[in-house]
Amino acid sequence: MKPLVKTLVLLGVLTALRLVVSGMFGLGDAEALYWNYGQHLQFAYLDHPPLIGLSLAAVDAVFGTSAVSVRLVPIFCFVVTVVFTYLLAASMWKDERAGWIAALLVCASPASLIGGMAAAPDSVLSMFWMMALYTVWESIRRERPGFILPVAAGLCIGLAFLSKHTGACLAAGVLLTALMHGSYRKAGFWAGLVTAAAVVSPVVLWNLEHDWIQLRHRLIWSQAGAAFSLRNLGALIGGQVLYTGPVLILFLWALVRLWKRRDEKGPALVVYVSGITLVCTYLLCLWSPVAEPHWPFAGYLALAAGVPGVIDTGMKTPGRIFKAAIVWSFGMYILAHVFVLTPLLPTLLPHDDYEPRYDISNELYGWGAVAEKVRTIAESGEKIASSHYTMCSQLAFHLSRDDDPSVVCASDQTDDFDLWNMVPRRQDRILFVADNRFGGLPQSLLSRICRQVSTLEVRRGGRWVRRFRFIRCEPCLNGE
């Protein structure tokens, strides 16, 4: 079977499995927030640029609101990411088998194989990241690239930045490659540069208009206690091992070997893009107490295309690592599905050892029942509220029918709901939803007359995993 056919067969099988599984559980908290992005389209949000919101809005408009439709975006993006990884490696190393190996390497990382079904900015970023690298490579390897390829490359780089701010590392790596290998002397380079700048300009202008609120939120408001520490170092190492698996060894090994060949255009592109991205994201993870293990993953994507160029057929160790990575990744893939689709942990762990709020699979269950409870007990004119943006996001997604009560967010901290003007007013009657994760009433509602009116217990594996409380809050009148 030809390498391209094997790649397409693998993608077909994975896509079919994802489409079947995607509707078996609800949205994660972050997915619900990004769906809300799509309901309030703007040029930027507190944490991210706009493309994930725009993508989810488009899918929602065509297919309606459901967990499956939300996950169509990452499922599609994963397919495109792998295809362009194949094309880049096959072209760079002039070997279709290199394309197949690169495609497998992308699939052989849990962050991609498992995370590739989650609706998040990273899925859209990965797609445009690899599209950008392919078009950049095709531009720099040709003596006369013309304008179409460089403009396409600039467009993809800009769209990568509109997906996630990590796209700035991609742009820096491409610029360094162009400077080191003379591509900046070609007119097409400047056409691509202007295109990329034009694409990202709406985000820059939005931040100017909003006093750089994204930077202040990401680097100041959300970084209490930020400092380089051994704890952060341990979290970084552990997170990379868990999310990337044995293939991490191949990626870093390839980075070293390709660095020695950076006088060649292909290795230079891979090294500069991956190196800048990994250094920046590693440093951010070492400094930030809220860093997440998937932040550096974009830096490994180019290395997936670079590994086939430095593996010799007689080298046994890389081959063994490659096989171990395949086993690790697909083993993690199966385990993750068992973990999410079945109540494995609440069933097997002793009662005293199981803390429901630390089992992240619980956030995928129960929200449909919460929405039905709200529809049953909510009184006319009441607004539904909670105190954390993830709770508010889930409520807004599950209460999205035309006849559902409106949702507001009563958080005491600044979040996107403040930008959308979805906050309680003094005269609003509130049905507040609390749970065992985020506690009770926020400070902003303490001046009201509140009483608990109902409860809901979500059970998995014969024990409760989440307890919701419904609290009715009336505005005080005449100073009472």
pLDDT tens profile 415-470: 999 999 999 998 899 999 999 888 778 877 877 889 999 999 999 988 889 999 99
Residue 127 has pLDDT above 80, yes or no: yes
Average pLDDT over residues 202-226: 90
Q: At what angle do helices 121-141 and 298-306 cross, to 10 degrees?
A: 40
Evaluate whether 182 touches 290 at the Cβ level (below 8 Å).
Answer: no
Residue 113 has pLDDT above 50, yes or no: yes
> What Cα–Cα distance (Å) separates residue 214 from each residue in 220, 274, 296, 391, 414?
10, 25, 20, 22, 12
Q: Is 462 left (phi over 0), alpha (psi -120 to 50) or beta?
A: left
Average pLDDT over residues 391-402: 96
Average pLDDT over residues 251-260: 93
Which band of pLDDT confidence, cut at 50, 70 and 90, is reported for residue 479? Answer: very low
Neighbours of 313 (CB within 10 A): 5
pLDDT of residue 313: 53
| Cα 53 from chain centre | 12
Average pLDDT over residues 173-186: 91
User: Which of 211, 207, 203, 149 shows the shortest CA–CA distance to 174?
Assistant: 149
pLDDT in tens, 90-105: 999 999 999 999 999 9
% of the chain beyond a pLDDT of 70: 98
pLDDT of residue 477: 62
pTM: 0.94
Interatomic CA distance for residues 272 and 176, integer angstroms: 7
pLDDT of residue 480: 44
pLDDT of residue 37: 97
User: Which of 424, 360, 356, 425 shows the shortest CA–CA distance to 387?
Assistant: 424
Evaluate whether 424 touches 410 at the Cβ level (below 8 Å).
Answer: yes
The one-letter code for the residue type at 28 is G
